[in-house]
Structure 1
Amino acid sequence: MNMMTLWHISGWEFAALALAALLVGFSKTAVSGANTISLAVFAAILPARASTGILLPLLIAGDVLAVLTYRRHAHWPTLWRLFPAVAVGVVIGTLFLMWADDGIVRTSIGAILLLMTGVTLWRRRRESEGADDAPDAVTTSAGRLKARSYGVLGGFTTMVANAGGPVMSMYLLSAGFRKLGFLGTSAFFFLIVNVSKVPFSAALGLIDTRSLLLDATLVLFVAPGALLGRWAVHRINQRLFDRLVIAATVVGGLQLLVG
């Protein structure tokens, strides 16, 4: 893969990448799934395939900060129920990336963003009040099928486009998680899943020394975003921010599809 494009980034493009990195940190500690905007920015400025590998270490940095913030609120039975299906989705996503060229990946990212926006809107129409901070494990056949379905889709979307956030958000909310349980469980989920993706991304050539040098610069913006999210999580007007995130995601997805 030709990575030389990384060294021809203009000042405005770097500023946009830095803002997207800050949003990564913010999304990990405040509004899960908001980093779909970051995904659109990275894929619009950088080669689409390269963007997924460059964004991955930044997501891991944000995951570490989220785990440090919400580690006491994770619900491990839910995590263990999801991981096997997620592994299947990651393998499927890896095979897809081995076959797809940059144009197909770019179009796929745009389509995934629009699909996840539709999923999010559908979920909000059906959303009911949450249950406890840490719900009991679902042991029914329907519950296991639901976990497997979301797990495979989440694994595929997170491998292909780092866009598993909306899928997992819908699953956790439908399982009855409230804010802190949601953030704690998703923090551990994405830290483990994103770290497990590193060998696959490296084998595909999506992570190399040059991409990590860019990450070393951009990661400086993740921590301030995480701190901002931690401060804002109890103060933010969630409804307004969600609408802005959805609008920005739609714009980003359309740009990738027609670009």
Structure 2
Amino acid sequence: MLRLNNMYFTEDIAMLTQSDLFLAAAGFLSGLIKTGVGVGSGLVLLPTLALVFPAKVALGLGAPMLLASDIIGLHYYWKQWLPRRELTRLFLAIIPGLFIGIVLLPMIPGRAFRIGVGIFGALYALGMLWPQFPVTALLKKGVGKLNAHCGDSEEQNRKGAYFYGFLGGLSTVLAHAGGLVWSLYLLTAARDRRVFVGTTVILFFITNIYKTISYVWIDIISLSALAQVIPAIPMIFIGSYLGNIVNKRCNHLLFRKIVLCFIFFVSITLCV
């Protein structure tokens, strides 16, 4: 049987093969969505893996898988990010969030964490599918006021970088959701689309390295568990390649809605 309570995958050959296949399929789906629709692949990967693995183990396995897709992103968007001064400011704000997230994570009970992931994913998908959803409308109003307060001046822009940077660092450690938070800041800080994407890619790359190391350090996953991710990496690359084709040739809006419906139903399953 699979021993997940101490995060060591000591199981028979058949179960190893089954786990490898599931990780490969999840990696393929993550890569496909990341380049195909732009919806945060972490929001798809985490609840999907949590269907089979405990939520915290799924969180740990997701970091190196997301890191693999970040490498592809760096190839396409190398140095197409914010100026060094602004990027440094953002990273300085992210670092405390990363540390606090790693301290908080072991304190959250496994069952509560699983339900929390499910609720977050369901609300996110519902909000994107139904913009008039009360929670979504309230968040949009709050974000709009905050961005208006941040404005375009140097001082106000710095405040926005500190706030969104810290919150994104915390969110990415706890739920691979930092991209959602950082994008709220980048909507005003990075007007150019390629700079927007390039900045998120470098943020993901650095933070996913940190998360992978930290998850092992706090025993969320073990080094032997990380080895199970290796067979999924080629599938992540293939999914990313096909996602780029889907983005160019398929109905983007329809594909996005399908992905959001998938996130919603998987997230609801985690809450049961």
TM-score range, shorter chain: 0.7 to 0.9
Instruction: Tell me which of 172, 184, 205 is aligned to 2:219.
Output: 205
Query: Is this contact kept in 1: 2:20–2:228, CA < 8 A?
Result: no
Show the counterpart of 1:134: none
Instruction: Give the gaps of 5 or more residues in structure 2.
Output: 145-150
Structure 1 residue 15: deviation in Å? 4.3
Query: Is this contact kept in 2: 1:116–1:166, CA < 8 A?
Result: no
Instruction: Give the gaps of 5 or more residues in structure 1.
Output: 129-136
Matched letter for residue 74 of structure 2: V
Query: Is this contact kept in 2: 1:106–1:257, CA < 8 A?
Result: yes
Instruction: Tell me which of 167, 179, 184 is aligned to 2:181.
Output: 167
Question: Using the alignment, how far apart are the partners of 1:107 and 1:224 within structure 2?
Answer: 31
Give CA-to-partner distance per residue, 1:29-60, whole Å, 9 cap, x none: 34141441221111121111111111111111
Instruction: Tell me which of 18, 34, 38 is aligned to 2:24.
Output: 18
Show the counterpart of 1:67: 74
TM-score (norm 2): 0.78
Question: Using the alignment, how far apart are the partners of 2:235 and 2:48 within structure 1?
Answer: 15
Structure 1 residue 219: deviation in Å? 1.4
Show the counterpart of 2:89: 81
Give SS of 2:221's match: coil
Question: Using the alignment, how far apart are the partners of 1:47 and 1:158 within structure 2?
Answer: 18
Give 1:87-126 correspondences, 5 Å limit: 87-117=95-125, 121=131, 122=136
Question: Using the alignment, how far apart are the partners of 2:201 and 2:267 within structure 1?
Answer: 25
Question: Using the alignment, how far apart are the partners of 1:214 and 1:12 within structure 2?
Answer: 11
Alignment of 1:33 with 2:40, yes or no, is: yes
- Which moved further from structure 2: 35-44 or 60-69? 35-44
Going from structure 1 to structure 2, the CA distance change for 1:112 and 1:198 (only over 3 Å counts) comes to: same
Matched letter for residue 17 of structure 1: L
Alignment of 1:257 with 2:271, yes or no, is: yes
Matched letter for residue 159 of structure 2: L
Question: Which is higher, the Rg of structure 1 or of structure 2?
Answer: 2
TM-score (norm 1): 0.81
Question: Using the alignment, how far apart are the partners of 2:10 and 2:251 within structure 1?
Answer: 36
Query: Is this contact kept in 2: 1:119–1:166, CA < 8 A?
Result: no
Give SS of 2:64's match: helix
Question: Using the alignment, how far apart are the partners of 1:227 and 1:32 within structure 2?
Answer: 16
Question: Using the alignment, how far apart are the partners of 2:72 and 2:158 within structure 1?
Answer: 30
Question: Using the alignment, how far apart are the partners of 2:266 and 2:47 within structure 1?
Answer: 5
Question: Using the alignment, how far apart are the partners of 2:42 and 2:77 within structure 1?
Answer: 18
* Number of residue equivalences: 250
- Which moved further from structure 2: 139-148 or 35-44? 139-148
Matched letter for residue 63 of structure 1: D
Matched letter for residue 204 of structure 1: I
Going from structure 1 to structure 2, the CA distance change for 1:231 and 1:184 (only over 3 Å counts) comes to: farther
Matched letter for residue 62 of structure 1: S
Structure 1 residue 113: deviation in Å? 2.1
Query: Is this contact kept in 1: 2:55–2:114, CA < 8 A?
Result: yes
